[in-house]
């Protein structure tokens, strides 16, 4: 059977949940027995998201094969329960680089290299290589963006070449509600459909995002002006729980419409098990990227998938001018603390103060990547009296570089895609919290770092689970590097060099988060 495509475009504004909707539709189609795959197209010129500041663009999601992706791949993985790879994300940077490299190699010898056909050919050939029966293609940004035009042109060409019976264009728009006049406004939606048509794409389905449910009159108007049947217009008002969206997609029968349009055989069935009620625990993520909630997306989602309340993101820098009492006051309301990953010196001292508080007050603490490195620094400074202990990332002249650049990183010249990346084998020692979480001796966890614990020089800071000691950190995972440390006489005080958050799926949160949330809840109950 020919491959089928659903192309998801966005109109009016970005950030309206196109990724969630694409992931939800994909999941429903998968439940109906279709072999689904997804592609996120990011029209920016970066080769990947790895060099982008999470403040602006949200978290960098790391795949098993070590690709630094847009966070939408995280939605796809969690919703689809299926790992993504490098080929599931495409950026303008990759496309242009490859076309220009080919030009220099002489592959186009004699030809004038042009946007059409050379760039569009490159895009189409990459799309065609994606395996699967149904490919959901989400084009980032909104229709009308300069960067996105070439990708829209490419999918338009693909639609001509592959046959319209194999294509469905789904346009996701936003309908604002004007409180003063008490009405919904459909004009921006009409105009964004016009923009699509101007480049030769007529959507067959429109998903209308809105704050409140849009009225029937407006939906009919959108159908009329958008040139689609009324039964192909679906309203998605804001929902409190993003994991409700697949059920809404199913209840609307969107899968049936897609199957009819694409002539796909489906079995109507939908099993979707996700947390619907959330415990009232208060968990803090002590962050430094505060520009968008998305900067710590996979961590937040991992917590929610364990059935706990959405964690609060608090500013690590705010702790830097506080007295000990003020820090205690500010943190006393939290049942658990997460120190997430990050780069650069800003906010580091605040995070260290929070770790000290958690260690001294036995508050469950999970340190992820940078968070684990800071656990080691705090311990060296405050338990072992190594004043000024630091990572050479933040202080190149420290007397105690307990965290140091990995040997292989010393040769690295370029910053893009050169960290230690992707899934690596991480052993789990017996008689540790880590083992309580995983219950198995070997796991594969995703990494993204340049620095490591300087175990060679400061081995005396650490002990094995067999010889626990209160003035040492227990190493609960040792590969070529220290992968995890913990303090054994605390309820939950653990740091890992890797990022467990990237492996959470709906119905199967990462084991470390399940155990962390369990310990948080135990502590909360014992306090009551």
DSSP string, 196-237: HHHTT---SEEEEEESSPPPHHHHHHHHHHHTS-GGGEEEEE
Nearer to ligand GLN among residue 246 and residue 342 (C-beta): 342
User: C-beta of 443: minimal distance to ligand GLN in Å?
Assistant: 18
In angstroms, give the least distance from the CB of 280 to ligand GLN: 29
3 state SS of 306? coil
* Strand-pair category, 183-184 with 283-287: unpaired
288 is an interface residue for ligand GLN by CB under 6 A: no
How are strands ordered across the β-sheet holding 134-139? 89-91, 36-42, 134-139, 4-10, 167-174, 205-210, 233-237
| Residue 255: active-site member | no
CB of 451 to ligand GLN, least distance (A): 3
Query: How are beta strands 390-391 and 134-139 bridged, if at all?
Result: unpaired
Q: Which is nearer to ligand GLN, 242 or 365 (CB)?
A: 365
Q: 349: part of which helix (H) or strand (E)? A: helix 348-361
Distance (Å, whole) CA 86 – CA 130: 11
Q: What is the DSSP string of 236-301?
A: EE--S-GGGHHHHHHHTTHHHHHHHHHT-------------S-B---EEEEES--S-GGGGHHHHH
Q: Which stretch binds ligand GLN (CB under 6 A): 204-212, 274-282, 335-343, 358-366?
A: 335-343
Residue closer to ligand GLN by CB (options 278, 343) is 343
Choose, by CB under 6 A, the member of 242, 306, 348, 370 that binds ligand GLN: 370
Say whether 369 is catalytic. yes
Instruction: State yes or no: residue 252 binds ligand GLN (CB under 6 A).
Output: no
Draw the binding track, 338-357, toward ligand GLN (x: CB under 6 A; -: no contact).
---xxx--------------
Contact 21, 27 (CB under 8 A): no
Check residue 394 for interaction with ligand GLN (CB under 6 A): no
Count of residues in contact with ligand GLN, rule CB under 6 A: 10
Q: What are the structure tokens assigned to 361, written together?
A: 């007050």
Sheet bearing 451-453, strands edge to edge:
390-391, 401-405, 451-453
Provide the minimum distance between the beta carbon of 373 and ligand GLN in the complex, in angstroms, as a whole number.
Answer: 6
Nearest residue (CB) to ligand GLN, 44 versus 343: 343
**Nearest distance in Å: CB 32, ligand GLN:** 38
Residue of 369, 393, 447, 449 marked active site? 369
Closer Cβ to ligand GLN, 98 or 409, answer by number: 409
Look up 162 and say whether it is catalytic.
no
User: Which residue, 394 or 516, is less far from ligand GLN as judged by CB?
Assistant: 394
The CB-of-102 to ligand GLN minimum distance in angstroms stands at: 33
User: What is the DSSP pairing of strand 233-237 with strand 205-210?
Assistant: parallel
Among 29, 136, 327, 369, binds ligand GLN (CB under 6 A): 369
Q: Which of residues 441-500 bind ligand GLN (CB under 6 A)?
A: 448-451
Separation between Cα atoms, residue 111 and residue 101, nearest integer Å: 14
Give how far Cα 63 sits from Cα of 228, 382, 479, Å.
37, 36, 20
Residues recognised as catalytic:
369, 499, 501
The residue ranges that bind ligand GLN (CB under 6 A) are 341-343, 369-370, 393, 448-451
């Amino acid at each position: 059977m020919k491959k089928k495509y659903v192309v998801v475009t966005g109109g009016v504004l970005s950030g309206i949940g196109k990724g969630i909707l694409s992931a939800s539709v994909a999941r429903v189609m998968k439940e109906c027995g279709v072999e689904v795959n997804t592609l996120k197209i990011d029209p920016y010129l970066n080769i990947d998201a790895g060099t982008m500041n999470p403040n602006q663009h949200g978290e960098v999601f790391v795949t098993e094969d070590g690709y630094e992706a847009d966070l939408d791949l995280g939605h796809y993985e969690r919703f689809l329960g299926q790992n993504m790879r490098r080929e599931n994300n495409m950026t303008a940077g990759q496309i242009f680089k490859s076309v220009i490299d080919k030009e220099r190699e002489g592959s186009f010898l004699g030809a004038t290299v042009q946007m059409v056909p050379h760039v569009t050919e490159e895009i189409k050939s990459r799309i065609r290589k994606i395996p699967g029966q149904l490919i959901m293609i989400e084009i980032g940004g909104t229709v009308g963006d300069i960067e996105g035009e070439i990708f829209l042109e490419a999918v338009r060409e693909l639609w001509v070449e592959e046959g319209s019976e194999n294509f469905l264009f789904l346009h996701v728009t936003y309908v604002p509600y004007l409180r003063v006049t008490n009405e919904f406004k459909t004009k921006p939606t009409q105009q964004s459909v016009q923009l699509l048509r101007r480049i030769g794409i007529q959507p067959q389905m429109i998903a209308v995002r809105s704050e409140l449910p849009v009225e029937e009159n407006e939906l009919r108007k959108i159908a009329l002006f958008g040139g689609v049947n009324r039964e192909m217009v679906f309203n998605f008002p804001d929902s409190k729980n993003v994991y409700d969206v697949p059920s809404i997609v199913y209840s609307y029968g969107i899968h049936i419409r897609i199957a009819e349009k694409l002539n796909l055989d489906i079995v109507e069935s939908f099993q979707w098990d996700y947390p619907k009620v959330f415990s009232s625990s208060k968990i803090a993520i002590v962050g430094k990227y505060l520009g968008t909630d998305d900067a710590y997306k996979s961590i937040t989602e991992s917590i929610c998938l364990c059935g706990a309340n959405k964690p609060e993101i608090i500013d690590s820098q705010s702790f830097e001018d506080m007295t000990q009492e003020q820090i205690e006051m500010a943190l006393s309301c939290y049942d658990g603390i997460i120190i997430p990953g990050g780069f650069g010196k800003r906010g580091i001292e605040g995070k260290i103060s929070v770790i000290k508080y958690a260690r001294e007050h036995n508050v469950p603490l999970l340190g992820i990547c940078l968070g684990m490195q800071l656990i080691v620094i705090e311990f060296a400074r405050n338990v072992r009296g190594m004043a000024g202990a630091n990572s050479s990332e933040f202080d190149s002249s420290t007397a105690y570089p307990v965290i140091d650049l990995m040997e292989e990183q010393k040769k690295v010249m370029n910053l893009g895609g050169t960290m230690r990346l992707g899934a690596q084998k991480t052993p789990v020692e017996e008689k540790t919290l880590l083992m309580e979480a995983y219950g198995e001796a070997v796991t594969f966890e995703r990494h993204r770092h340049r620095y490591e614990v300087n175990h060679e020089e400061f081995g005396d800071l650490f002990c094995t689970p067999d010889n626990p000691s209160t003035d040492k950190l227990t190493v609960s995972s040792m590969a070529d590097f220290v992968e995890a440390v913990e303090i054994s006489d605390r309820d939950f005080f653990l740091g890992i060099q890797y990022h467990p958050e990237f492996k959470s799926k709906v119905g199967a949160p990462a084991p470390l988060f399940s155990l962390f949330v369990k310990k948080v809840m135990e502590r909360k109950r014992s306090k009551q």
